[in-house]
Amino acid sequence: MTIDDLRSRRLIILECISGSRAYGLATKTSDTDIKGVFILPKSNYYSFDYIPQVSNETNDIVFYELGRFMELLALNNPNILELLNTPKESILYKHQCFEKLDPKAVLSKRCKLSFGKFAYSQIKKAKGLNKKIMNPFSKEKKSVLSFCFISTKSGSMPLNNFLEVKGWNQKNCGLVNIPHMKDLYGLYHEEYSNFQGIVSNDSVQELSLSSIPKGCTQEALLYFNKDGYSTYCREYKEYWSWVSKRNQERYSNTISHGKNYDAKNMMHVFRLLDMAIEIGRDQEINVERPNRDFLLKIKAGEFDYDDLLELANSKQQEMEVAFEESSLPEQPNKDFIKQLTYEIRNELYKDTTFH
């Protein structure tokens, strides 16, 4: 099922402008995101064809099936609570069935966890970008040999340096395991031999072992930092995957402001923490943010990362106090939400449009 199917079959029961335009944080370059709710036709719902969500390729447009929407609502999911509390001017269509759903009736102290966790995931993303910018990976991938070291009297020497000093080719070397010593090998060398080499080629991820003839002298002890190589391979893959998929406009913005963190992620940290404080203190959700100027300054990279982190920690403490003093229930009333889900679906299925 596609978004076009939802529209042509008139299955959409809630459609709203979301994201920066709903938050009041849109700029000239902002996209228009759409979120909403649809009702699965009765024939699909009662068969094996349950579809929880429909979106476009870029996820700029997302519609949740009523059951999935209510399920996430029972978890006080931030995206769903924002959708339910979309400002009137950003609502494109809203079926009358939503009049049954009082937004305040589903709030609970669980919002401290859901909004707080979401906020700190944005900090992690912002920090992760910092790490990628400050520690780029060369496109040429390192080989296993770069993670091998030779034991010396004063410590260790990189294998590649050792081979260069000796004037040896790794293909003329042979390795054997050292019993009871993990990732440690005896290294042998003969200019003309049938040794397998230290590696068979530069792309392999394991060292080669050789049969060593009697009488050969062990030249050195070789240590393979296998864990370090595994970590490098994982981070190399993550880095170049990020390069291929990154939002170039946001990346360029990060480079231009020179702070080396994703400023948009940090902006959402404060948006989410402020919303959480308001939920605990006022028991309401304000999607449109009153501090647009401050949030856009964060997005523009006008603050240092450490200063924002300190301020975020202060906001978190304020959030903790707000929920400690709040009269909200500890958890959403799931029985109420389940009953409401049944009533809304039952009412909608009386309309033959949704059959």
Give the chain's end-to-end CA distance (angstroms, integer).
15
Structural domains in the chain plus CATH codes: 1-104+332-355 (3.30.460), 108-137+247-328 (no CATH), 145-226 (no CATH)
Task: Determine the average pLDDT of the residues in 169-193.
Answer: 93
User: What is the rounded distance in angstroms from the CA atom of residue 281 to the CA atom of residue 274?
Assistant: 10
Question: Are the C-beta atoms of residues 122 and 53 closer than 8 Å to each other?
Answer: no
- Which positions ≥6 away from 323 have C-beta within 8 Å? 109, 111, 112, 276, 280
C-alpha 13, offset from chain centre: 29
The confidence score (pLDDT) of residue 246 equals 59
Look up residue 138 and give its DSSP letter. P
Mean pLDDT across the chain: 89
Order of strands, sheet of 173-177, starting from the edge strand that comes earlier in the sequence: 155-158, 148-152, 220-224, 184-189, 173-177
Of 332, 338, 277, the residue nearest 76 (C-alpha): 332
Task: Determine the average pLDDT of the residues in 188-202.
Answer: 89
* pLDDT score of 40 more than 50: yes
Q: For 3-32, what is each residue's pLDDT tens digit?
A: 999 999 999 999 999 999 999 999 988 889
Structure tokens at 134: 């400050």
In sequence order, which ranges of the chain are alpha helices (DSSP H)?
3-8, 20-23, 42-45, 66-73, 78-84, 110-134, 159-166, 226-245, 248-257, 263-282, 292-299, 305-324, 334-348
* pLDDT score of 66 more than 70: yes
pTM of the full predicted structure? 0.66
The confidence score (pLDDT) of residue 304 equals 85
